[in-house]
Amino acid sequence: MRFENLFSRIPGLYYLLMKKTFGSGGMQMDFSVKYDVAVIGGGIGGAAAALQAARLGKKTVLVEKTILLGGLATSGLVYIYLPLCDGNGHQVSFGITEELLRRSYQYGPGEIPANWQNEKKGNSRTRFVARFSPAAFMLSLEEMLLENGVDLWLDTLVCDTECRDGRMTAVIVENESGRGKISAQCFIDASGSCITARRAGVKCLEEDNYLTIWSLGHQPGAKGDFGSDVNMFFSTAANLDEPHNLWLSEELQKQLYPGMNADEIKREVTYRGLSGRTVTRFVTESHRVLREHYKSEQEKGLSRQECYPLKLPLMPQFRKTYCIPGEYVLKAGENNRHFDDSVGLLPDWRKAGPVWEVPFRTLYTKQLGGLLAAGRCTAASGDAWEVTRVIPSAGLTGQVAGLAAAMSIEQKKEVWELDIGELQDNLRKLGFRIHLAEAGLV
Protein backbone atom coordinates (compact mmCIF):
# COMPACT_ATOMS: atom_id res chain seq x y z
CA MET A 1 0.00 0.00 0.00
CA ARG A 2 1.38 3.42 -0.93
CA PHE A 3 2.03 5.77 2.01
CA GLU A 4 -0.41 8.40 0.75
CA ASN A 5 -3.17 5.76 0.64
CA LEU A 6 -2.32 4.72 4.20
CA PHE A 7 -2.54 8.35 5.36
CA SER A 8 -5.94 8.78 3.74
CA ARG A 9 -7.27 5.60 5.39
CA ILE A 10 -6.12 6.47 8.91
CA PRO A 11 -7.10 10.07 9.81
CA GLY A 12 -4.47 11.84 11.87
CA LEU A 13 -1.66 9.36 11.07
CA TYR A 14 0.28 11.91 9.04
CA TYR A 15 0.11 14.43 11.89
CA LEU A 16 1.19 11.82 14.46
CA LEU A 17 4.17 10.75 12.36
CA MET A 18 5.21 14.34 11.80
CA LYS A 19 4.87 15.08 15.52
CA LYS A 20 7.06 12.07 16.28
CA THR A 21 9.60 13.24 13.71
CA PHE A 22 9.75 16.91 14.59
CA GLY A 23 9.11 16.91 18.35
CA SER A 24 6.72 18.77 20.63
CA GLY A 25 6.15 21.54 18.13
CA GLY A 26 4.27 19.08 15.94
CA MET A 27 5.02 19.60 12.25
CA GLN A 28 8.19 21.11 10.87
CA MET A 29 8.44 24.82 11.70
CA ASP A 30 8.16 27.29 8.84
CA PHE A 31 9.41 30.18 10.98
CA SER A 32 10.77 30.94 14.44
CA VAL A 33 10.82 34.36 16.13
CA LYS A 34 11.72 35.69 19.57
CA TYR A 35 10.13 38.41 21.71
CA ASP A 36 10.42 39.64 25.25
CA VAL A 37 6.67 39.46 25.92
CA ALA A 38 4.06 37.48 23.99
CA VAL A 39 0.41 38.31 24.66
CA ILE A 40 -2.16 35.78 23.51
CA GLY A 41 -5.57 37.29 22.77
CA GLY A 42 -6.38 40.70 21.33
CA GLY A 43 -9.31 41.61 23.55
CA ILE A 44 -9.28 44.45 26.05
CA GLY A 45 -7.07 42.56 28.53
CA GLY A 46 -4.58 41.60 25.86
CA ALA A 47 -4.47 45.10 24.40
CA ALA A 48 -3.81 46.64 27.82
CA ALA A 49 -1.10 44.08 28.60
CA ALA A 50 0.66 44.62 25.29
CA LEU A 51 0.48 48.40 25.61
CA GLN A 52 2.03 48.36 29.08
CA ALA A 53 4.82 45.94 28.17
CA ALA A 54 5.68 47.89 25.01
CA ARG A 55 5.69 51.22 26.86
CA LEU A 56 8.32 49.76 29.18
CA GLY A 57 10.56 49.06 26.21
CA LYS A 58 9.86 45.35 25.84
CA LYS A 59 9.71 43.79 22.40
CA THR A 60 6.06 42.74 22.46
CA VAL A 61 3.87 40.64 20.19
CA LEU A 62 0.08 40.42 20.37
CA VAL A 63 -1.37 37.25 18.84
CA GLU A 64 -5.05 37.38 17.85
CA LYS A 65 -6.96 34.56 16.14
CA THR A 66 -9.30 36.92 14.24
CA ILE A 67 -8.44 39.99 12.18
CA LEU A 68 -10.18 42.37 14.60
CA LEU A 69 -9.18 43.61 18.05
CA GLY A 70 -11.36 44.04 21.12
CA GLY A 71 -12.77 40.57 21.73
CA LEU A 72 -16.25 40.44 23.24
CA ALA A 73 -16.37 44.24 23.48
CA THR A 74 -16.18 44.63 19.70
CA SER A 75 -16.44 41.35 17.79
CA GLY A 76 -18.91 40.18 20.42
CA LEU A 77 -20.97 43.41 20.13
CA VAL A 78 -20.94 43.99 23.91
CA TYR A 79 -20.52 47.68 23.25
CA ILE A 80 -20.79 49.12 26.77
CA TYR A 81 -17.63 50.11 28.60
CA LEU A 82 -18.88 49.35 32.09
CA PRO A 83 -18.21 51.63 35.09
CA LEU A 84 -14.85 52.70 36.44
CA CYS A 85 -16.62 54.08 39.53
CA ASP A 86 -18.37 52.58 42.55
CA GLY A 87 -21.75 54.17 41.83
CA ASN A 88 -21.33 56.53 44.78
CA GLY A 89 -19.18 59.12 43.07
CA HIS A 90 -15.74 57.53 43.54
CA GLN A 91 -13.60 56.48 40.58
CA VAL A 92 -11.76 53.30 41.60
CA SER A 93 -10.20 51.93 38.38
CA PHE A 94 -7.47 53.94 36.67
CA GLY A 95 -4.65 53.65 34.16
CA ILE A 96 -4.92 52.11 30.72
CA THR A 97 -8.48 50.95 31.38
CA GLU A 98 -9.55 54.60 31.63
CA GLU A 99 -7.43 55.47 28.60
CA LEU A 100 -9.20 52.78 26.58
CA LEU A 101 -12.62 53.99 27.71
CA ARG A 102 -11.83 57.50 26.49
CA ARG A 103 -10.49 56.19 23.16
CA SER A 104 -13.46 53.85 22.61
CA TYR A 105 -15.56 56.58 20.97
CA GLN A 106 -12.73 58.40 19.16
CA TYR A 107 -14.01 57.37 15.72
CA GLY A 108 -17.71 57.01 16.41
CA PRO A 109 -20.67 57.88 18.62
CA GLY A 110 -20.49 57.68 22.38
CA GLU A 111 -19.62 59.90 25.31
CA ILE A 112 -19.00 59.69 29.02
CA PRO A 113 -21.29 61.60 31.40
CA ALA A 114 -20.41 65.28 31.56
CA ASN A 115 -19.59 65.20 35.26
CA TRP A 116 -16.91 62.53 34.63
CA GLN A 117 -15.21 64.18 31.70
CA ASN A 118 -12.62 66.11 33.69
CA GLU A 119 -13.21 64.98 37.26
CA LYS A 120 -12.36 61.91 39.32
CA LYS A 121 -15.63 62.20 41.20
CA GLY A 122 -19.11 62.44 39.80
CA ASN A 123 -22.77 62.50 40.65
CA SER A 124 -23.48 59.34 42.62
CA ARG A 125 -26.46 58.58 40.38
CA THR A 126 -24.41 58.78 37.17
CA ARG A 127 -21.78 56.11 36.60
CA PHE A 128 -18.50 56.51 34.74
CA VAL A 129 -19.43 54.49 31.63
CA ALA A 130 -19.38 54.86 27.86
CA ARG A 131 -21.19 53.27 24.94
CA PHE A 132 -19.26 52.96 21.70
CA SER A 133 -19.43 51.74 18.14
CA PRO A 134 -17.68 48.34 18.07
CA ALA A 135 -16.09 49.08 14.69
CA ALA A 136 -14.86 52.49 15.86
CA PHE A 137 -13.27 50.96 18.96
CA MET A 138 -11.55 48.33 16.81
CA LEU A 139 -9.90 51.10 14.81
CA SER A 140 -8.70 53.03 17.85
CA LEU A 141 -7.37 49.89 19.58
CA GLU A 142 -5.32 48.97 16.53
CA GLU A 143 -4.02 52.53 16.26
CA MET A 144 -2.96 52.62 19.93
CA LEU A 145 -1.08 49.33 19.69
CA LEU A 146 0.73 50.30 16.50
CA GLU A 147 1.59 53.74 17.91
CA ASN A 148 3.27 52.02 20.85
CA GLY A 149 5.29 49.60 18.76
CA VAL A 150 3.38 46.40 19.47
CA ASP A 151 3.89 43.75 16.78
CA LEU A 152 0.42 42.55 15.75
CA TRP A 153 -0.07 39.00 14.52
CA LEU A 154 -3.67 38.80 13.32
CA ASP A 155 -5.41 35.74 11.88
CA THR A 156 -3.00 33.61 13.92
CA LEU A 157 -4.00 30.57 15.99
CA VAL A 158 -2.15 29.21 19.01
CA CYS A 159 -1.96 25.45 18.47
CA ASP A 160 0.51 24.23 21.06
CA THR A 161 3.11 25.31 23.60
CA GLU A 162 6.64 24.40 24.55
CA CYS A 163 7.70 24.23 28.18
CA ARG A 164 11.02 23.48 29.79
CA ASP A 165 11.80 22.90 33.46
CA GLY A 166 8.31 23.96 34.52
CA ARG A 167 8.38 27.16 32.49
CA MET A 168 6.66 28.19 29.27
CA THR A 169 9.22 28.97 26.58
CA ALA A 170 7.25 29.16 23.33
CA VAL A 171 3.87 28.95 21.66
CA ILE A 172 3.33 27.16 18.38
CA VAL A 173 1.11 29.13 16.03
CA GLU A 174 -0.38 28.78 12.57
CA ASN A 175 -1.28 31.44 10.03
CA GLU A 176 -0.97 32.00 6.29
CA SER A 177 2.83 31.76 6.61
CA GLY A 178 2.53 28.21 7.91
CA ARG A 179 3.29 26.78 11.33
CA GLY A 180 5.91 28.45 13.48
CA LYS A 181 7.28 29.10 16.91
CA ILE A 182 7.07 32.30 18.95
CA SER A 183 9.54 32.23 21.82
CA ALA A 184 9.38 34.78 24.62
CA GLN A 185 10.69 35.44 28.10
CA CYS A 186 7.18 35.91 29.46
CA PHE A 187 3.70 35.05 28.18
CA ILE A 188 0.35 36.61 29.04
CA ASP A 189 -2.80 34.57 28.49
CA ALA A 190 -5.56 37.03 27.67
CA SER A 191 -7.39 34.65 25.36
CA GLY A 192 -10.61 34.61 27.39
CA SER A 193 -10.50 30.80 27.39
CA CYS A 194 -7.03 30.14 28.87
CA ILE A 195 -5.98 28.58 25.58
CA THR A 196 -2.28 29.09 26.34
CA ALA A 197 -2.46 27.62 29.83
CA ARG A 198 -4.65 24.71 28.72
CA ARG A 199 -2.40 23.85 25.77
CA ALA A 200 0.46 23.71 28.28
CA GLY A 201 -1.43 21.17 30.37
CA VAL A 202 -2.65 23.43 33.18
CA LYS A 203 -5.97 22.16 34.53
CA CYS A 204 -8.06 25.33 34.54
CA LEU A 205 -11.21 26.17 36.47
CA GLU A 206 -14.56 26.31 34.68
CA GLU A 207 -18.14 27.43 35.26
CA ASP A 208 -21.50 27.40 33.51
CA ASN A 209 -22.42 29.61 30.58
CA TYR A 210 -25.92 30.23 29.29
CA LEU A 211 -27.15 30.67 25.75
CA THR A 212 -26.77 34.36 24.89
CA ILE A 213 -26.79 36.58 21.83
CA TRP A 214 -26.31 40.30 21.22
CA SER A 215 -26.96 41.49 17.67
CA LEU A 216 -27.78 44.69 15.83
CA GLY A 217 -30.85 44.99 13.66
CA HIS A 218 -33.02 47.38 11.69
CA GLN A 219 -36.44 48.15 13.13
CA PRO A 220 -38.65 51.11 12.17
CA GLY A 221 -38.89 53.71 14.90
CA ALA A 222 -36.08 52.29 17.00
CA LYS A 223 -33.89 54.91 18.63
CA GLY A 224 -30.74 53.30 19.96
CA ASP A 225 -27.08 54.09 20.41
CA PHE A 226 -26.45 54.06 16.65
CA GLY A 227 -29.17 56.39 15.46
CA SER A 228 -32.75 55.90 14.36
CA ASP A 229 -34.10 52.57 13.13
CA VAL A 230 -31.13 50.57 14.53
CA ASN A 231 -31.67 48.55 17.67
CA MET A 232 -29.87 45.98 19.80
CA PHE A 233 -31.45 42.55 20.10
CA PHE A 234 -30.31 40.93 23.33
CA SER A 235 -31.32 37.55 24.66
CA THR A 236 -29.84 35.47 27.45
CA ALA A 237 -31.33 32.20 28.60
CA ALA A 238 -30.45 32.73 32.26
CA ASN A 239 -29.20 35.52 34.46
CA LEU A 240 -25.59 34.78 35.41
CA ASP A 241 -26.30 36.23 38.87
CA GLU A 242 -29.36 34.02 39.34
CA PRO A 243 -28.71 30.91 37.24
CA HIS A 244 -31.80 29.13 38.51
CA ASN A 245 -34.09 31.71 36.89
CA LEU A 246 -34.77 31.34 33.18
CA TRP A 247 -34.69 34.66 31.35
CA LEU A 248 -36.03 33.44 28.03
CA SER A 249 -39.46 34.88 27.38
CA GLU A 250 -42.34 32.42 27.57
CA GLU A 251 -42.89 33.01 23.87
CA LEU A 252 -39.32 32.01 23.00
CA GLN A 253 -39.40 29.05 25.38
CA LYS A 254 -42.44 27.66 23.55
CA GLN A 255 -40.94 28.35 20.12
CA LEU A 256 -37.48 26.95 20.85
CA TYR A 257 -38.21 24.13 23.28
CA PRO A 258 -41.81 22.97 22.79
CA GLY A 259 -43.06 20.55 25.41
CA MET A 260 -40.10 20.99 27.75
CA ASN A 261 -40.39 22.05 31.37
CA ALA A 262 -38.15 24.65 33.01
CA ASP A 263 -35.57 22.12 34.24
CA GLU A 264 -35.29 20.51 30.81
CA ILE A 265 -34.88 23.90 29.14
CA LYS A 266 -32.23 24.85 31.70
CA ARG A 267 -30.17 21.83 30.70
CA GLU A 268 -30.53 22.73 27.03
CA VAL A 269 -29.26 26.29 27.48
CA THR A 270 -26.39 25.53 29.87
CA TYR A 271 -22.86 25.11 28.54
CA ARG A 272 -19.81 24.09 30.55
CA GLY A 273 -16.31 23.72 29.18
CA LEU A 274 -15.32 24.07 25.54
CA SER A 275 -15.01 21.75 22.57
CA GLY A 276 -15.40 22.20 18.85
CA ARG A 277 -18.87 20.71 19.09
CA THR A 278 -19.83 22.90 22.07
CA VAL A 279 -18.84 26.11 20.32
CA THR A 280 -20.71 25.15 17.16
CA ARG A 281 -23.84 24.22 19.11
CA PHE A 282 -23.75 27.45 21.14
CA VAL A 283 -23.44 29.59 18.00
CA THR A 284 -26.09 27.78 15.97
CA GLU A 285 -28.53 27.77 18.89
CA SER A 286 -28.02 31.51 19.43
CA HIS A 287 -28.73 32.04 15.74
CA ARG A 288 -31.89 29.95 16.12
CA VAL A 289 -33.04 32.32 18.88
CA LEU A 290 -32.55 35.21 16.48
CA ARG A 291 -34.43 33.50 13.65
CA GLU A 292 -37.37 32.83 15.94
CA HIS A 293 -37.35 36.49 16.97
CA TYR A 294 -37.60 37.68 13.37
CA LYS A 295 -40.25 35.10 12.51
CA SER A 296 -42.26 36.40 15.44
CA GLU A 297 -41.85 40.01 14.30
CA GLN A 298 -43.06 39.09 10.81
CA GLU A 299 -46.08 37.32 12.28
CA LYS A 300 -46.87 40.55 14.13
CA GLY A 301 -47.02 42.41 10.82
CA LEU A 302 -43.50 43.77 10.32
CA SER A 303 -42.15 42.98 6.86
CA ARG A 304 -38.66 41.64 6.18
CA GLN A 305 -37.90 44.95 4.45
CA GLU A 306 -38.61 46.75 7.73
CA CYS A 307 -37.27 44.42 10.42
CA TYR A 308 -34.07 42.48 9.76
CA PRO A 309 -30.63 41.70 11.23
CA LEU A 310 -27.72 44.00 10.41
CA LYS A 311 -24.81 42.61 12.40
CA LEU A 312 -24.21 39.29 14.14
CA PRO A 313 -21.44 38.68 16.69
CA LEU A 314 -18.22 37.38 15.16
CA MET A 315 -17.39 35.18 18.14
CA PRO A 316 -19.30 32.94 20.55
CA GLN A 317 -20.57 35.07 23.42
CA PHE A 318 -19.36 32.86 26.24
CA ARG A 319 -18.68 34.79 29.44
CA LYS A 320 -17.04 32.36 31.84
CA THR A 321 -15.31 29.39 30.22
CA TYR A 322 -11.92 28.82 31.86
CA CYS A 323 -9.68 30.70 34.28
CA ILE A 324 -6.31 29.75 35.70
CA PRO A 325 -6.07 27.93 39.04
CA GLY A 326 -4.37 30.92 40.61
CA GLU A 327 -2.43 30.95 43.83
CA TYR A 328 -5.54 32.69 45.10
CA VAL A 329 -9.02 32.37 43.64
CA LEU A 330 -11.21 35.41 44.24
CA LYS A 331 -14.59 34.32 45.61
CA ALA A 332 -18.10 35.67 46.06
CA GLY A 333 -18.49 37.97 49.04
CA GLU A 334 -14.86 39.11 49.10
CA ASN A 335 -15.68 42.65 48.02
CA ASN A 336 -14.65 45.49 50.36
CA ARG A 337 -11.94 43.24 51.79
CA HIS A 338 -8.26 44.11 52.19
CA PHE A 339 -5.62 41.98 50.44
CA ASP A 340 -1.96 42.68 51.18
CA ASP A 341 -1.03 41.86 47.58
CA SER A 342 -3.79 43.91 45.94
CA VAL A 343 -2.85 45.38 42.55
CA GLY A 344 -5.93 47.53 41.95
CA LEU A 345 -9.62 48.09 42.54
CA LEU A 346 -12.64 46.86 40.59
CA PRO A 347 -16.20 48.15 41.03
CA ASP A 348 -19.32 46.03 40.78
CA TRP A 349 -20.88 47.04 37.47
CA ARG A 350 -24.34 45.78 38.50
CA LYS A 351 -24.92 47.87 41.61
CA ALA A 352 -23.50 50.77 43.58
CA GLY A 353 -21.25 50.16 46.55
CA PRO A 354 -19.19 46.96 46.33
CA VAL A 355 -15.53 47.39 45.36
CA TRP A 356 -13.02 44.58 45.04
CA GLU A 357 -9.30 44.58 45.75
CA VAL A 358 -7.58 42.28 43.23
CA PRO A 359 -4.90 40.00 44.71
CA PHE A 360 -1.83 39.68 42.49
CA ARG A 361 -1.94 35.93 43.19
CA THR A 362 -5.03 35.68 40.95
CA LEU A 363 -2.83 36.50 37.94
CA TYR A 364 -0.50 33.50 38.12
CA THR A 365 -0.17 29.85 39.08
CA LYS A 366 3.05 28.31 40.31
CA GLN A 367 2.19 25.25 38.24
CA LEU A 368 3.80 27.00 35.28
CA GLY A 369 6.45 29.71 35.21
CA GLY A 370 6.74 32.41 32.60
CA LEU A 371 2.97 32.85 32.38
CA LEU A 372 0.51 35.49 33.61
CA ALA A 373 -3.24 35.75 33.09
CA ALA A 374 -5.35 38.81 32.27
CA GLY A 375 -9.05 39.60 32.01
CA ARG A 376 -11.48 36.72 32.44
CA CYS A 377 -8.55 34.27 32.55
CA THR A 378 -7.60 35.52 36.04
CA ALA A 379 -8.53 33.26 38.95
CA ALA A 380 -12.08 33.84 40.21
CA SER A 381 -15.21 31.85 40.95
CA GLY A 382 -18.93 32.41 41.24
CA ASP A 383 -20.07 35.99 41.61
CA ALA A 384 -16.49 37.28 41.79
CA TRP A 385 -15.94 36.08 38.22
CA GLU A 386 -18.84 38.30 37.18
CA VAL A 387 -16.74 41.27 38.31
CA THR A 388 -13.34 40.20 36.95
CA ARG A 389 -14.58 39.20 33.47
CA VAL A 390 -15.91 42.55 32.19
CA ILE A 391 -14.27 45.21 30.02
CA PRO A 392 -12.86 47.64 32.64
CA SER A 393 -11.60 44.77 34.79
CA ALA A 394 -9.82 43.22 31.81
CA GLY A 395 -8.15 46.53 31.06
CA LEU A 396 -6.91 46.83 34.63
CA THR A 397 -5.60 43.28 35.08
CA GLY A 398 -4.11 43.41 31.59
CA GLN A 399 -2.02 46.44 32.50
CA VAL A 400 -0.90 44.78 35.74
CA ALA A 401 0.14 41.68 33.79
CA GLY A 402 2.10 43.77 31.30
CA LEU A 403 3.95 45.57 34.08
CA ALA A 404 4.66 42.36 36.02
CA ALA A 405 5.95 40.67 32.87
CA ALA A 406 8.38 43.53 32.23
CA MET A 407 9.59 43.49 35.84
CA SER A 408 10.11 39.72 35.82
CA ILE A 409 12.23 39.99 32.67
CA GLU A 410 14.32 42.86 34.00
CA GLN A 411 14.89 41.16 37.35
CA LYS A 412 15.23 37.63 35.93
CA LYS A 413 12.63 36.36 38.38
CA GLU A 414 9.41 34.42 38.19
CA VAL A 415 6.42 36.69 38.72
CA TRP A 416 5.71 35.22 42.17
CA GLU A 417 9.26 36.17 43.21
CA LEU A 418 8.68 39.87 42.54
CA ASP A 419 8.58 42.24 45.50
CA ILE A 420 4.88 43.04 45.82
CA GLY A 421 5.60 46.43 47.39
CA GLU A 422 7.71 47.43 44.39
CA LEU A 423 5.01 46.26 41.98
CA GLN A 424 2.37 48.22 43.90
CA ASP A 425 4.52 51.37 43.94
CA ASN A 426 5.05 51.10 40.18
CA LEU A 427 1.30 50.80 39.72
CA ARG A 428 0.72 53.88 41.87
CA LYS A 429 3.09 55.78 39.57
CA LEU A 430 0.74 54.77 36.75
CA GLY A 431 -2.21 56.31 38.62
CA PHE A 432 -3.60 53.19 40.31
CA ARG A 433 -5.38 53.09 43.63
CA ILE A 434 -4.19 49.87 45.23
CA HIS A 435 -6.26 49.58 48.41
CA LEU A 436 -9.75 50.71 49.34
CA ALA A 437 -8.38 53.40 51.65
CA GLU A 438 -6.53 55.03 48.74
CA ALA A 439 -9.87 55.60 47.01
CA GLY A 440 -11.42 57.04 50.17
CA LEU A 441 -13.56 53.96 50.76
CA VAL A 442 -12.50 53.06 54.31
pLDDT digits (tens, 9 = 90+) for 318-343: 999 999 999 999 999 999 999 999 99
CA angle 237, 239, 241 (to 5 degrees): 155
- As a whole number of angstroms, the distance between CA 260 and CA 367 comes to 44
Using 50, 70 and 90 to split pLDDT, how confident is the model at 235?
confident
- As a whole number of angstroms, the distance between CA 20 and CA 26 comes to 8
Q: What is the pTM of this model?
A: 0.89
Q: What is the mean pLDDT of residues 287-315?
A: 91
Task: Say what the pLDDT of residue 11 is.
Answer: 44
- What is the rounded (10 degree) CA torsion for 111, 114, 120, 124? -110
Task: Say what the pLDDT of residue 290 is.
Answer: 92
Domain annotation for the chain: domains and CATH numbers: 23-207+320-442 (3.50.50.60), 209-311 (no CATH)
- As a whole number of angstroms, the distance between CA 336 and CA 61 comes to 36
Q: What is the pLDDT of residues 262-295, one digit of tens each?
A: 777 777 788 888 899 999 999 999 999 899 889 9
- As a whole number of angstroms, the distance between CA 137 and CA 69 comes to 8
The closest of 352, 313, 320, 334 to 243, measured between CA atoms, is 320
Residue that wins the pLDDT comparison between 190 and 14: 190
Using 50, 70 and 90 to split pLDDT, how confident is the model at 79?
very high
Q: Tell me how far CA of residue 96 lies from CA of 50, 64, 257, 325, 395, in angstroms.
A: 11, 20, 44, 26, 6
Q: Reply yes or no on whether the pLDDT at 20 is more than 80.
A: no
**Least reliable range by pLDDT among 23-27, 121-125, 176-180, 430-434:** 23-27
